Amino acid sequence: MADLLGTGPSDQEETENEDKKKGKRSWDDTSRSGKISRTTDLPETLGFYDINAIRRDLNRNYPSLARFMCAELTRGYFLEHNEAKYTERRERVYTCMRIPRELEKLMVFGLFLCLDAFLYVFTLLPLRVLLALLRLLTLPCCGLSGSRLLQPAQVCDILKGLIMVLCYSMMHYVDYSMMYHLIRAQSVIKLYIIYNMLEVADRLFSSFGQDILDALYWTATEPKERKRDSLGVIPHFIMAVLYVFLHAILIMVQASTLNVAFNSHNKSLLTIMMSNNFVEIKGSVFKKFEKNNLFQMSNSDIKERFTNYVLLLIVCLRNMEQFSWNPDHLWVLLPDVLMVITSEVAVDVIKHAFITKFNEITANVYSEYRASLAFDLVSSRQKNACTDYSDSVARRMGFIPLPLAVLLIRVVMSSVKVEGALSYSCVFLFYLGLVTLKVLNSIVLLGTSCVYVKQANMEDKLFEKPPTPGPGKTPSKTKKTSRCHSSPTPSGTSSITSQPTPAPAPQAETADNHAPLPPDTPEQKEGDGIEGTELKHRNTKKDLLDVDRFTICGNRID
């Protein structure tokens, strides 16, 4: 009994302790572990803390997917905090939108300049040659009125006429049909490589060809009293004839390759040739360009586009001859012609748009390019002009009309048969039409050029006299000196249409001027050397009117 009474309370206490352990709150353990800290400001329910309030407080502090999505959907920003940056980006977009319009205005003006120089070979050059020959025939009757038998311009005209006649006679020995079938027998890959090589060779021929022609003109018209160090007129004339003949054959191969591409059944070669234009974008867009470099490339694009138009004309003439001048075949050729022209225009627009964007060049630069070309045209019409207009275009754009004219005459004479008095009458009327077109084109171009020169404020530069070499100085040294003494513009940046002003006349020497100057110290000499180096690098960025016309013929990108 005592045992039962003694063990009863202890069992009851053990039972109560176990019940307490089972009913122990789980947040007591968490509070001991330190994960959740008790706070006195939490609401109590029957003496216990609310666990839901603790969890809500934790959810506010820790990130979640819902909170991230809410922040992303409601996040804001203000563009006006970087207003200059976004304004510049908008101007770039507007510049890219203006490029096609400004570029095509320059292209159209340049194409008409090339057309004027090209028509000159067919229309006015034969008349000028006849006048020069008439002067030679009438010299025994009229006597010598001066020291020259012929004027320098007349000598150059006769040389051009002789080159045209000799090259046309030599082109008769080149069979166009045999060349066409020889090219057609090659594979597509070979023709693609040949066409690329021909484009490179055409640029090289244009670069060196105008130098050959200029050397011939100067050798033939150089004053006799001056000491001569040339080979003579005949060697230069032979070199000029060979150049024009070889360049004409090269253009004929280009036309034959394009004709093969037009007449291929699957048009694969034509597609490859057109895709080659887009490769040009890769080679030029990611290079650093300045205004003068972009001007050279623009002139090269004008020349290339005009040459392609003449090649398309030759291809159409040859195809129409093969189909007996059937007008229906012209509509077959028209889609391919439009594809070539469209791809050329698209490539030029994309190329110039991205070049101006990457180099931060404004679209107004193309109006300055037009003004520079217009200045060449207007200055060549003056009495003291130093070159013919067609030669000026050849040097500026690399477009030499003589080889292209020889080839076109050869193709037209072989495609069109002239027989009978009626046919010759039609040829004469066609010649009168070309003369009329040439005169009208020249009048419109001259008027437009005067407007461009006036808008660019370049009228005073037309009446500036070229610097004359002093005694004991060569012309090249005087030329370099005049460039070095060019005055900077007030704005501190050289305008693209500005021209160096002539150096001021030296003042009268006084007694102080005759005083000997102290010798330069090594530091001064070193400074002069650095200054000369800086001036040399600075002269590479010449203004458009200051750039020598003879250095642009090759369309080089410095």
Neighbour-count burial of 17, counting CB atoms closer than 10 A to its CB (0-12 exposed, 13-18 middle, 19+ buried): exposed
Q: What is the pLDDT of residues 299-349, one digit of tens each?
A: 989 999 999 999 999 999 988 888 888 888 888 888 888 988 988 898 899
Residues 224, 136, 152, 163: is their CA dihedral positive or negative? negative
Hey, which bits of 425-476 come out as E strands? Answer: none
Which of 65, 107, 121, 90 is CA-nearest to residue 402?
121
Which tokens go with 133?
């020959």
Buried b vs exposed e over 528-553: b needs ≥16 C-beta within 10 Å? eeeeeeeeeeeeeebbbbbbebeebb
CB 251 within 8 A of CB 314: no
pLDDT of residue 548 exceeding 90, the answer is no
Determine contact, residues 355/291, Cβ cutoff 8 Å.
Answer: no
3-class SS letters over 25-88: CHHHHHHHHCCCCCCCCCCEECCEECHHHHHHHHHHHCCCHHHHHHHHHHCCCCHHHHHHHHHH
Contacts of 283 (CB under 8 A, 6+ apart): none
Q: Tell me, what's the pLDDT at 164?
A: 93
User: With bands split at pLDDT 50, 70 and 90, how would you rate the model's confidence at 197?
Assistant: confident
Q: How sure is the predictor about 109, in pLDDT bands with cuts at 50, 70 and 90?
A: very high
Q: In sequence order, which residues have a C-beta less than 8 Å from that of residue 276 and are 6 or more positions away?
A: 192, 195, 196
Alpha-carbon distances, residue 186 vs 314, 322, 418, 515 (angstroms): 21, 21, 34, 79
Asked whether the CA dihedral 358, 363, 369, 375 is positive or negative, the reply is negative
How far is it, in rounded angstroms, from Cα 316 to Cα 325?
A: 10
Q: How many CB atoms lie within 10 A of CB 377?
A: 22
C-alpha span between 67 and 211 (Å, rounded): 76
Give this prediction's pTM.
0.71
Closest CA to 392 of 407, 409, 403, 378: 378
62-105 pLDDT, tens digit each: 777 887 888 888 888 888 778 888 888 888 888 888 889 999 99
Rounded distance, CA 466 to CA 479, Å? 9
pLDDT at 9: 53
Residue 7: φ, ψ to 5°:
-90, -10
Q: Which residue has the higher pLDDT, 434 or 476?
A: 434
pLDDT digits (tens, 9 = 90+) for 374-429: 988 888 877 766 677 667 777 778 888 999 999 999 999 888 888 888 888 999 99
Percent of the chain with pLDDT over 70: 68
Among 336, 338, 296, 380, residue whose Cα is nearest residue 110: 296
pLDDT at 465 over 80: no
Residue 495: which of 462, 460, 456, 465 has the closest Cα? 456
* Per-residue confidence (pLDDT) for residue 428, from 0 to 100: 92
Residue 511 has pLDDT above 50, yes or no: no
Q: What is the DSSP letter of 466?
A: P
Better-predicted residue by pLDDT, 269 or 150? 150
| Rounded Cα distance, 294 and 285, in Å | 11
Kindly indicate the confidence band of residue 227, based on its pLDDT and cuts at 50, 70 and 90: low
CB 179 within 8 A of CB 531: no
pLDDT of residue 477: 40
Of 270, 269, 259, nearest in space to 177 by CA: 259
219-223, 231-235, 389-393, 491-495: least confidently modelled range: 491-495
**CA triplet 179, 182, 183: central angle to 5 degrees?**
90
* Mean pLDDT on 430-454: 92
Percent of the chain topping pLDDT 90? 22
pLDDT over 60 (residue 168): yes
| 305-321 exposure pattern, b = at least 16 Cβ within 10 A, e = fewer | bbbbbbbbebbbbbbbe
**Who has greater pLDDT, 91 or 436?**
436
Beta bridge partners of 252: none
Q: Which residues contact 528 (CB under 8 A, 6 or more apart)?
A: 520
Mean pLDDT, residues 193-204:
86
Tell me how far the alpha carbon of residue 299 is from its chain's centroid. 6
Task: Say yes or no to pLDDT of 16 above 70.
Answer: no
pLDDT of residue 30: 44
Cα–Cα distance, 422 to 429 (Å, whole number): 11
Report the candidate in 159, 171, 103, 161 with the shortest Cα–Cα distance to residue 370. Answer: 103
Question: How does DSSP assign 467-481, residue by residue?
Answer: PPPPTT--HHHHHHH
What are the phi and psi torsion angles at 45 (to 5°)? -125, 110
DSSP, res 146: S
**How many whole angstroms separate alpha carbon 42 and alpha carbon 50?**
7
Average pLDDT of the chain is 75
Q: What is the pLDDT of residues 116-148, one digit of tens each?
A: 999 999 999 999 999 988 888 887 666 555 556
Q: Say whether pLDDT at 553 is over 80.
A: no
φ, ψ at 48 (rounded to 5°): -115, 150
Instruction: Give 292's contacts (C-beta < 8 A, 6+ positions apart).
Output: 496, 541, 542, 543, 544, 547, 558
